[in-house]
């Protein structure tokens, strides 16, 4: 569901209308009545069918968007999040994960949340990724990968102020991200021999220490550790030369040191089709790589391309995990 006052419902309605584009059947955990009203508001003729369980979704999907009923505490006004609905947003994520862990669905695709509304309701996690790690249990340490056609990026630090992101960088964290990324590329993306570029954090990758020692003291040891684990890793490399077209052809993924170093490149290359893939979980999870877009919620302007890409990516990963891809 995501933030009900955001664009999640709108893009789900629109995604179903493009179901002929080789989409695997999907269901939405949401309030069916809310979606019907939203469809009428934005002028989208998507029929909605409430289902009792995910097992009914496939039979319904050709004719209507399957909706697993999930009630909200307060009426929804597009663009105006209500903290009263925050518990339902959190519960929808928990419900989706439980369905995936029980094998009743093949993957979880989350729509964007509005973090302030959740924080106001007592949500204590920086974002979806950390929350999913807790729900997975077993000491899961999820890693965020962002994917678009032609580029995969993995930020080592995620939802931190830049000063803290740099201060908290460690060789172990970089090595862990590299290991998880290499394993996921082999298992979930079909890359037999993954090639990883590891970005520096300072301009010109520190210029041999004259612009900072993080490359020498933290990043280079992590690259060496990855190589000792038989992972084809290279760096630390200047971040400003890792993302042009010729450079992207040399790597299967780029390990980045902080959030914007990764996401600015990806969103510049293909803003509309970016996908967030959570690595290191026992279930498949993807999401559109954009926010809840409150400014345009309810207007009919939101594009469904990123959700379509997230659905397709989730289905592909699920098939590979099942040994069919």
DSSP letters along 196-233, please?
EEEE-SSGGGGTTTTT-SHIIIIIHHHHHHHHHTT-EE
Structure tokens at 69: 């009923």
User: What is the model's pLDDT at position 127?
Assistant: 76
Whether CATH 3.40.640.10 fits 1-140: no
Same fold, 1-140 and 143-280: yes
To which CATH superfamily is domain 143-280 assigned?
A: Isopropylmalate Dehydrogenase (3.40.718.10)
β-pair type (108-109, 151-155): unpaired
Distance of CA 134 to the CA centre of its chain: 16
Q: What is d(CA 249, CA 3) in angstroms, rounded to the nearest whole number?
A: 36
User: What is the model's pLDDT at position 177?
Assistant: 97
150: left (phi > 0), else alpha (psi -120 to 50), else beta?
Answer: left
Burial class (CB in 10 A: 0-12, 13-18, 19+), 306: buried
Low-confidence ranges of the chain (pLDDT < 50): none
In the chain, where are the structural domains located? 1-140, 143-280
User: What is the model's pLDDT at position 180?
Assistant: 96
Q: What is d(CA 57, CA 232) in angstroms, rounded to the nearest whole number?
A: 42
User: What is the model's pLDDT at position 48?
Assistant: 97
Write the pLDDT tens digit of every residue in 168-194: 999 999 999 999 999 999 999 999 999
| Secondary structure E strands in 191-247 | 195-199, 232-237
User: What is the model's pLDDT at position 39?
Assistant: 96
User: What is the model's pLDDT at position 140?
Assistant: 77
User: What's the predicted TM-score (pTM) here?
Assistant: 0.91
User: What is the model's pLDDT at position 22?
Assistant: 67
């Amino acid at each position: 569901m995501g933030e009900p006052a955001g664009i999640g419902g709108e893009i789900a309605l629109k995604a179903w209308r493009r179901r002929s584009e080789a989409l695997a059947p999907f269901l939405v955990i949401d309030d069916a009545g809310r979606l019907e009203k939203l469809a009428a508001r934005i002028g989208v003729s998507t029929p909605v069918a409430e289902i009792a369980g995910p097992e009914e979704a496939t039979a319904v999907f050709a004719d209507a968007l399957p909706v697993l009923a999930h009630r909200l505490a307060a009426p929804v006004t597009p663009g105006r999040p209500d903290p009263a609905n925050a518990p339902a947003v959190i519960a929808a994520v928990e419900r989706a994960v439980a369905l995936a862990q029980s094998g009743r669905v093949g993957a979880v695709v989350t729509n964007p949340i509005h973090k302030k509304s959740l924080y106001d309701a007592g949500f204590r996690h920086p974002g979806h990724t950390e929350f999913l790690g807790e729900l997975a249990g077993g000491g899961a340490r999820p890693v965020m990968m962002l994917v678009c056609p032609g580029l995969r990026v993995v930020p080592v630090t995620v939802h931190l102020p830049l000063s803290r992101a740099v201060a908290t960088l460690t060789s172990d964290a970089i090595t862990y991200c590299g290991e998880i990324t290499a394993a996921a590329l082999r298992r979930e993306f079909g890359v037999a021999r993954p090639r990883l570029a590891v970005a520096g954090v300072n301009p010109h990758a520190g210029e041999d220490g004259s612009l900072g020692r993080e490359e020498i003291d933290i990043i280079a040891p992590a690259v060496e550790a990855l190589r000792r684990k038989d992972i084809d890793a290279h760096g630390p490399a200047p971040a400003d030369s890792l993302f042009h077209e010729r450079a992207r052809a040399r790597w299967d993924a780029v390990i980045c040191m902080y959030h914007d170093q990764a996401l600015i490149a990806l969103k510049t290359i293909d803003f509309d089709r970016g996908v967030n893939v959570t690595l290191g979980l026992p279930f498949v999870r993807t999401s559109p790589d954009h926010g809840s877009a409150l400014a345009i919620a309810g207007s009919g302007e939101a594009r469904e391309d990123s959700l379509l890409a997230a659905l397709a990516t989730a289905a592909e990963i699920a098939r590979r995990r099942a040994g069919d891809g």
